[in-house]
Chain A
Amino acid sequence: MHRALALAVSALFSTAVFATAVPGQPAPGFTVTDLSGKPVKLEDYKGKTVVLEWINFGCPFVMKHYNSGNMQALQKKYANDVVWLAVNSTNKGHTDWAEPGPLNAQLKQLGAAQARYLVDEPGTVGMAYGAKTTPHMFIIDPQGKVVYNGAIDDKRSTNPADVKTAKNYVVAALDELKAGKPVSTASTTPYGCTIKYK
């Protein structure tokens, strides 16, 4: 009886808590290796604005922003103001998993200009931030606070032509930050492919 009860109780509460990086709260810290195997620590970028971009080239939503040149343009436009970290939380067993060699080639071919490309293979960073889709964008201000969590823009499609007419939330937030203003749209629904967590 006791056992049955205890089991029932543990079943009742055994829920996977998928954390969320909430705007206004401190950004969860992490140390993770980048594509070249070097460790990257979020703490090291204190004092700088950090953009986290969840990425997976196997995802048509990501490719919409790379094939249209949109993502690379943003990475370059803000290169002086922000540290742009692309994060890949795809698990090794998934067909979307790519080895560093081909990935580097693809990044080069696309002209990607992120500061670092993080390999979050066990998905720890993704889970801590509550990253759900690729792309899913987070902005962390120089004080280490999350100031934006959500979609890259308001056109939920895979059509590269939509990039031109979409309202880009990341641009809006970064420009507001730069102007010393609070981010007016701090949270939106991310859209894209499910992140291929383990």
Chain B
Amino acid sequence: MAQRLIGLACAMAACAALAAPVVKTEHVEAQLLAERVAVQAGKPAVVGLKLRMAEHWHTYWKNPGDSGLPTRIQWVLPEGWKAGEIQWPYPKPLPVGPLMNYGYEDEVLLLAELTPAASVKPGRYTVKANAEWLVCKDICIPEKGALDLDVTVAAAEGPADPKVAAHFERARAQLPFDPSGWTFESAMAGKSLVVKLTPPAGAQLPQKLAFFPERELLIEPAAPQKVTREGNALRIEMKLADPPLTGVGEVLGVAVSDSGWPGNPRKAMAVNARVVASLPVAAATSASPSNGPSPGVGGSTWVALAFALVGGILLNLMPCVFPVLGIKVMGFVKHAHGEERAMRIQGWVFSAGVLASFLALAGIMLAARAGGAQLGWGFQLQSPAVVMLLAALFFVLALNLSGVFEWGAFAQSMTSNISARGRYADAFLAGVLASAVATPCTAPFMGAAVGFTLTQSAVNALAVFAMLGVGMALPVLLLAHFPALLRKLPRPGAWMETFKQVLAFPLFATVAWLTWVLGAQAGNDAVLGLLAGLVLVAMGAWMYGRFEHSAGPWRAAVALLLVAAGLVVAWPASQGAAVPSSASARAGEIAWQDWSPEKVAELTGRGTAVFVDFTAAWCVTCQVNKRVALGNEAVVRAFGERQVVALRADWTRNDPRITATLSQLGRNAIPVYALYLPGEAQPRLLPEVLTPNIVLEEISRLPSGRPATAITQR
């Protein structure tokens, strides 16, 4: 009753009708608002600072993200009055280039509690506030305003002021609510911060959400967040800032879901997650990309491990591994009808060889990267000397399979004269060889998994590489354990000799390929050196085979001498003249230009669509894609019609700029195909195995119908 009387009195006296003055700065209109027409002495009431930003300008949340400054309000109050902290509505992610800010566009009402002194007499009082805000679009302007608000103190609280009710209602809907029945936990795992939200039983969970931590420097605001459903809980994985904060006991923040939360229509939920040592992962039932602060998502170790396994298995089908697998198949044929146990052991030894090689290569790469070197997966083939040695090794193996010589006592003395052990050494070697030539190939799934390791701790990274090795060894291991299939093969006999000699040809083909790789790396002279060296190696092998029955040490000695001489002749000069990759266009081909980050920046800056082929001579998958997809007539035509500028980044020799760019794309192995479309901040990554249709479909997003002259345009 009293309230209604006051309301009536106020309405008659127009006590609430006085809106506070609006302070206009260059980019913001600021005004203080009171929620009620009258407040009561000693009783908290709600007021707000309304900031209306010019179009596309923004002010900041309490954690501004990568840059910026939160808005500040300094109250100047009558004696005995108190004002509370700003109650922040949940922010909006505001990406700026590669960085991310958290803030508000258009309009925001920052609420605060205002408590008149208990002793204050009814009447009108002026409350002042000095507010400072940083307002930014692509530039930042610090602004401030001296604001005031007339507050009526009455014997009882007045009704809500209908003129501002909508503003307050909207602001309240944007405040994070304190949930009940939820449990929150968080943990730092490697380079990730994981926050787990467990709802009360039976609650429906949102599919998409974004997390905004209150604390600055806790996470990398621009890095994608990954949200996974884990049983009935939600798991948010974010990239920790580097270096990570230490001594974090709890993670405070807001989780924002556009579809609201179970039992609460508000979009933002306050989260206070205690930091625990670790959060074990239950089987994730689904993963959904977050619509959170930035498009896309990160990766979890488990997903990466799964991809690595599948990628490793698929690696067996990639053209690089094929010739070496021939050797392994040969071994199986030989022993298919032999003792099962021996065969199983062989399978395991082969797997051990693969695994040891993957771990060794990954270890070297990680150690070198930690030392600041820019190395990527497959780095060993970036060295001309390694390419030459591999070529020589495959050449020797091929000669052996062709029957030019038998290993005989020579190899046995190296391994041991117990034939079973010799076989195991063979199996291990086959594993090592398969890995050495397989690593430069990227299978589907694998590129993502290897790229993932870039952001991970050494332990996680090694686990992913080990999983790749497991995947690659798995088919052979399975065959070793289930030899029923192999039994279908004919019994060993004269046909085996023919089969063995046939298997030499894939190896010779590998030598031819490696020779071409060396040519691309170290020039024509290096190719001549290699071929001349191989002639000497062939002589050594022939002598060793021809005089097989002669006694005495000279045979092996001369053979070794010839091979050594061959290697010396073949050894590539450290700074050979690489054949410059030709950028001249031939008719019926895409007009490739040499890649540089500056060129990409310049072209995309002009709004040109850019396709980048990250390739290398030693990457067989790349060569296959080049022929099959990028050389396809329809694709070539589409590049011309849609005016896509094609750039080729050649990683045949180590190029730190390429390694760095790949890592920005979240990759560390090739092939990688990146399509930069106008208006899209991030390039689209195409699959590792291309078909003309995949390329055409991506390109077809661009408008066509422009003259086809673009293909030769420089």
Q: Which residues of A contact B (CB under 8 A)?
A: 2-3, 5-7, 9-20, 22-26, 28-29, 58-61, 91-96, 122-124, 127-128, 130, 132-133, 156-158, 187, 189-198
Of B140, B444, B693, which is within 8 A of A193 by CB? B140
Task: Kindly provide the distance from the CB of A147 to the nearest chain B CB, expressed in whole angstroms.
Answer: 12
Q: Which residues of B contact A (CB under 8 A)?
A: 66-69, 96-99, 101, 132, 134, 136, 138-142, 216-217, 220, 222-224, 241-243, 287, 289, 296-299, 303, 307, 371-372, 444-445, 447-448, 451-452, 454-455, 597-598, 601, 604-605, 660, 663-667, 682-689, 691, 693-694
> Which chain A positions have C-beta within 8 A of B688?
6
Decide: A18 and B222 in contact? CB cutoff 8 A: yes
Decide: B371 and A26 in contact? CB cutoff 8 A: yes
The answer to whether A15 and B138 touch (CB under 8 A), given A122-B598, A132-B99, is no
Known: A17-B666, A20-B242. 11 other contacts (CB 8 A): A9-B307, A10-B686, A11-B297, A13-B447, A14-B685, A15-B223, A26-B372, A60-B140, A92-B605, A95-B138, A187-B217
> Which chain A positions have C-beta within 8 A of B141?
60
> Which chain B positions have C-beta within 8 A of A91?
605
The answer to whether A193 and B289 touch (CB under 8 A), given A9-B448, A15-B296, is no
Closest chain B residue to A56 by CB distance?
B139
Decide: B448 and A17 in contact? CB cutoff 8 A: no
> Which chain B positions have C-beta within 8 A of A24?
243
Of A59, A157, A196, which is within 8 A of B97 by CB? A196
CA distance A10 to B311 in the complex (A): 13
The answer to whether A189 and B217 touch (CB under 8 A), given A9-B445, A11-B296, A157-B69, is yes
Decide: B222 and A16 in contact? CB cutoff 8 A: yes
> Which chain A positions have C-beta within 8 A of B303?
12
The answer to whether A193 and B67 touch (CB under 8 A), given A6-B689, A16-B98, A130-B242, is yes
> Which chain B positions have C-beta within 8 A of A127?
98, 664
CA distance A127 to B448 in the complex (A): 22
Closest chain B residue to A21 by CB distance?
B242
The answer to whether A197 and B98 touch (CB under 8 A), given A12-B299, A16-B222, A158-B134, is yes
> Which chain B positions have C-beta within 8 A of A12?
287, 289, 296-297, 299, 303, 448
Of A14, A189, A194, which is within 8 A of B99 by CB? A194
13 chain-A/chain-B pairs, Cβ below 8 angstroms: A2-B444, A6-B445, A10-B447, A13-B298, A14-B684, A15-B296, A16-B666, A19-B663, A26-B371, A133-B66, A157-B69, A158-B69, A194-B99
Q: Which among A16, A22, A60, A91 has the greatest number of chain B C-beta atoms within 10 A? A: A16
Closest chain B residue to A93 by CB distance?
B605
Closest chain A residue to B69 by CB distance?
A156
Q: Which among A3, A28, A127, A191 has the greatest number of chain B C-beta atoms within 10 A? A: A3
Closest chain B residue to A59 by CB distance?
B140
Decide: A128 and B660 in contact? CB cutoff 8 A: yes
Closest chain B residue to A124 by CB distance?
B597
**6 tightest A-B CB contacts, nearest first:** A6-B687, A197-B97, A158-B142, A13-B448, A10-B685, A20-B242
Closest chain B residue to A11 by CB distance?
B296
Decide: B242 and A133 in contact? CB cutoff 8 A: no
Decide: A18 and B605 in contact? CB cutoff 8 A: no
> Which chain A positions have C-beta within 8 A of B693?
3
Of A11, A17, A122, A191, which is within 8 A of B67 by CB? A191
The answer to whether A191 and B69 touch (CB under 8 A), given A60-B142, A95-B139, is yes
The answer to whether A15 and B298 touch (CB under 8 A), given A7-B687, A29-B372, is yes
Task: Kindly provide the distance from the CB of B210 to the nearest chain A CB, expressed in whole angstroms.
Answer: 15
Of B132, B454, B687, which is within 8 A of A17 by CB? B454
Decide: A58 and B451 in contact? CB cutoff 8 A: no
Task: Kindly provide the distance from the CB of B595 to the nearest chain A CB, expressed in whole angstroms.
Answer: 13
Task: Kindly provide the distance from the CB of B303 to the nearest chain A CB, expressed in whole angstroms.
Answer: 7
Decide: A197 and B99 in contact? CB cutoff 8 A: yes
CA distance A25 to B494 in the complex (A): 62
> Which chain B positions have C-beta within 8 A of A29?
372
Decide: B687 and A28 in contact? CB cutoff 8 A: no
> Which chain B positions have C-beta within 8 A of A128?
660
Closest chain B residue to A7 by CB distance?
B687
Decide: B694 and A13 in contact? CB cutoff 8 A: no
CA distance A22 to B216 in the complex (A): 17
> Which chain A positions have C-beta within 8 A of B217?
187, 189
Of A11, A130, A194, which is within 8 A of B101 by CB? A194
